[in-house]
Amino acid sequence: MESFLPFLQNNFPILISHRYLFLFLGSAIEGMNTMVLGGFLVSTGFISLWPIFFIFILGETVNGYIWYFVGYFAGSKPIDKWGRSKPKSEKIINTVQNYFERYSGRAILFTKFTFSLTIATEIMAGSLKYDFKKFSLYNFIGSAGWVCIVLFTGYSFGQSYKLLFKYIKDFGYALVFLGGATTLIYILKLIIRSAFIKALLAHEKVKYYSDKIKNSLDKFVANGDNGEDTTEDI
C-alpha cells in the first residue's frame, strides 16, 4: 500500500488531490465497491473517517434520487424491460410491487440492503409518484445504514491487511483483501435479498389463505342471515 500511493501521486496526482470528490462520484454512480475501497483507505489513514462517512451517505442518497427520477419520468418501462424479462424475476418484482403498495416506506428502507431489488424499488417509487419528502426520508435512513455496513467491512479488511503488512509487502495482496471485502458484501446482500423475498412470499401466502378463510366465513354468515330472514318472512 505504501508503494501504491506514491505511484498514484506521481502518475495520477488528480486522484490524490481530489480523492474525496472522486470517492463521492464513485459512491453516487457505482456505490458498493467504491465504499469498500473507502473503508479500506480509512484504515490506512489515507482518508479521514467522518468526512468520507458523510460523503458516502450523500453519494448513496443521490444514487437513490437518480433512480427515483428515472421512474418518475420514464414510468415503469425500465422495470418492465429488465425486471420482468423472465418469469421468475417477474414474480419477484410483482411481489415487491405489492409490498411497496402496502408498505412503501419499509420497502424503500429494506431493499437498500438487498441485491438487485434496490434500483427496482426506487424506480417503482418514482413511477408511482411516491411522495418525494417521504422518499427522501427513507432513502436517507437506508443509505446511512448501508454505508455503515459497507464502510465498516472495508475498514475491517483494511485493518487485517495492516496486521499482515509487515510480513506481506506486495500490493497485490491488498487487492486480495479488497476483493474479499467486496465478495463478503455481495454475499451479505444476496442473503438479505433471499430472506426478504422469502418473507414477502410467505406473507403473500398467509394473506391469501387468511383472505380465503375470511371470505368463506363471510359467505357462511351471509347464508345464515338469509336463512333467518326467510324463516321470519314465513
> Quick one: CA torsion of 224, 229, 231, 234, rounded to 10 degrees?
-160
Taking the C-alpha atoms of residue 89 and residue 82, their distance in angstroms, rounded to an integer, is: 9
Provide the pLDDT for residue 135: 96
- Cβ–Cβ under 8 Å, residues 19 and 53: no
Asked whether residue 11 carries a pLDDT value surpassing 80, the answer given is no
Of residues 37, 75, 20, the one with CA closest to residue 154: 37
Q: What confidence tier does 234 reach under pLDDT thresholds 50, 70, 90?
A: very low
- Cβ–Cβ under 8 Å, residues 225 and 218: no
Domain ranges of the chain: 4-233
pLDDT digits (tens, 9 = 90+) for 107-152: 899 889 887 789 889 999 999 999 999 999 999 999 999 999 999 9
Q: What confidence tier does 4 reach under pLDDT thresholds 50, 70, 90?
A: low
Taking the C-alpha atoms of residue 31 and residue 21, their distance in angstroms, rounded to an integer, is: 14
Provide the pLDDT for residue 70: 94
Taking the C-alpha atoms of residue 214 and residue 180, their distance in angstroms, rounded to an integer, is: 50
Provide the pLDDT for residue 204: 64
Asked whether residue 201 carries a pLDDT value surpassing 80, the answer given is no
Taking the C-alpha atoms of residue 27 and residue 175, their distance in angstroms, rounded to an integer, is: 19
Asked whether residue 85 carries a pLDDT value surpassing 50, the answer given is yes
Task: Note the Cα 5 to chain centre separation in Å.
Answer: 31
Residue for grid cell 422518499: 135
Give the chain's largest Cα–Cα span.
101
Taking the C-alpha atoms of residue 21 and residue 12, their distance in angstroms, rounded to an integer, is: 14
Q: Is 172 exposed, middle or buried (0-12, 13-18, 19+ CB in 10 A)?
A: exposed
- Cβ–Cβ under 8 Å, residues 158 and 44: yes
This prediction's pTM: 0.75
